[in-house]
Copies of this chain bind each other. A is one copy, B any other.
Amino acid sequence: MAGSSFGQIFKITTWGESHGKALGVVVDGVPAGLELSEADIQAFLNRRKPGQSRYTTQRSEGDEVEILSGVFEGVTTGTPISLMVRNADQHSKDYSNISHMFRPGHADYTFWEKYGIRDYRGGGRSSGRETIGRVAAGAIAVKILKQLGIDIVTYTKSIGPVEIKKFDLTEINANAFYMPDKEAAVKVSEYVEQCMADKDSAGGIIECRVSGLPAGIGDTVFEKLDANLAKAIMSIGAVKGFEVGDGFEVAKSCGSDNNDDFIVDNGNIVKASNHSGGILGGMSDGSEIVFRAAVKPTPSISQPQQTVDVDGRPQRIEIQGRHDPIIVPRAVVVVESMAAITMVDLLMTNMSARLDSLKDFYK
């Protein structure tokens, strides 16, 4: 099936494998009139680029993006924007030893069962490099949101046992883990060093906050804002959980605590608290959107593991090569991108919710 497109009237289609010729994305439904340059997109790609700290893979991926269509004289024309990144650093030999084995925690086995063939080089289509297309598209979506006064901030909330204790916006881009808490980041670096010494890896939680989203975005039934965000975020490899607002904590709460009172503030209807995470009945409620994603530890570890090969024989595997001991920091921009793409699409489909809007538009 065609499973590489996301979105309805703002739609992205990603393509490419880890060690193929290139990876990319077609971003369709971008409104005409947006100034857009390769620098806009490169800035986002650089946030997911490896090799930025000793806690991310030391592969030198250039990841330079090329705009192939959809932009004329620096401005979008309403036609699909094709973005491509050539794969430069294809150390295929690094992967040849695992070509016939199913790495634990990876998609090797399931891909094989589904398709009966597999590009085993670096995980092929199931590699984290697939997110290059998502992030390139996310750069466009975030730029559109900004034009509408909508801000999105994404950061690491916790890694292993270390959780942030404070929120310092300026700190997020100042440490290797994209954490808004300098002290927490220091503790995390110690924790990850230990993981590396143990030939092991770590997981964590990413949090995203969106402000400025008008009330009423998302739909009442299946196209709920939170349902669409859930699909968007859970479609990122390694994400095993998603929650909005108080999330799993609601299970132990009671209605009188969990409900957010409505109050009047400066003539505006606002909520006195935000347990809902900015979404009620599937639609944005005007408060800050808050959601979290749980990211599993990198499955590629160099400890020996037990597995089976394609001929069904038990095998011992030690994964060599350069791997992130922790995926979380590089996934931050992927979460932000998928959230932005989801919201732009829902902002667009929301425009025809009222007959009056149609009449105003076409009068």
Given contacts A14-B221, A297-B255, contact A354 B32 (CB under 8 A): yes
Give the docked Cα–Cα distance between A6 and B2 (Å): 11
Number of copies: 4
Of A39-47, A53-61, A107-115, A171-179, the one touching chain B: A107-115
Nearest CB on B from A286, distance (A): 7
| Contact among B10, B69, B216, B255 with A20 in the assembled complex (CB-CB below 8 Å) | B69
User: When each residue 229-249 of chain A gets 1 if its CB lies under 8 Å from chain B and 0 otherwise, what string results?
Assistant: 111111101001111111111
A3 touches B254 (CB 8 A): no
Give the docked Cα–Cα distance between A216 and B1 (Å): 12
Residues of B within 8 A of A126 (CB): 220, 281-282
| Contact among B3, B222, B259, B351 with A220 in the assembled complex (CB-CB below 8 Å) | B3
Give the docked Cα–Cα distance between A254 and B307 (Å): 18
Closest to A245 in B: B240
A-B contact pairs, 23 of them (CB 8 A): A3-B219, A3-B221, A3-B223, A5-B11, A15-B26, A20-B68, A33-B115, A33-B117, A72-B118, A78-B220, A78-B354, A104-B262, A105-B280, A107-B280, A116-B356, A214-B362, A230-B231, A230-B233, A255-B298, A255-B300, A259-B299, A262-B308, A263-B306
